[in-house]
Structure 1
Amino acid sequence: MPNGTPADVTERLAQINPSLARQARKVLDVNKSERHIRGGMATREKYLHQMQNGIK
């Protein structure tokens, strides 16, 4: 059974539907370029929440 990773999916999709594979690659590339920002924002929110509630 395939492992379902983005690389596996896009490689197989390229064989099945190249146009859709290009669209999927664009979405995955945007996600990859932005995920570090979302992670930093989540960490900031976590610590702000802890400070507001007196949690150490």
Structure 2
Amino acid sequence: MKGIVEERAVELGVYIVEQKATVRAAAKKFGVSKSTVHKDVTQRLKQIDRQLYRQVQHVLAVNKAQRHIRGGQATKEKYERLHLLKK
């Protein structure tokens, strides 16, 4: 029988793959820390479900590659909002 931790790891993995979610988004959705999500999907999931683990790693790699773009976009939007408030 699977324990609660193993079930959570699988649920997190499925959520990340289906939603193409970030670790941060998954943590917020499941009410756990980013560290917990990361440990579940990088260590625990590898032992539980190799195929799901590989799919999650692919999504996380794509997210990591796009991270700098999202950060730049967020900064741009921040300063656009500040500029609009000053008018």
Partner of 1:46: 78
- What is the RMSD computed on CA atoms of the aligned residues? 1.9
How far apart in 2 are the matches of 1:37 and 1:45?
12
C-alpha distance after superposition, 1:9-42 (max 9, x if no partner): 2221011000000000001111111111111101
Q: 5+ unaligned residues in a row in structure 2: which ranges?
A: 6-34
- Count of matched residue pairs: 53
Deviating above 3 A after TM superposition, structure 1's stretches of 4 or more consecutive aligned residues are: none
Higher helix share: 2
Partner of 1:21: 53
Between 1 and 2, higher relative CO (CA 8 Å, sep ≥ 6) is seen in 2
Partner of 2:62: 30
Aligned letter for 1:44? K
Q: Please say which structure displays the higher CA radius of gyration.
A: 1
Residue identity over aligned pairs, in percent, reads 45
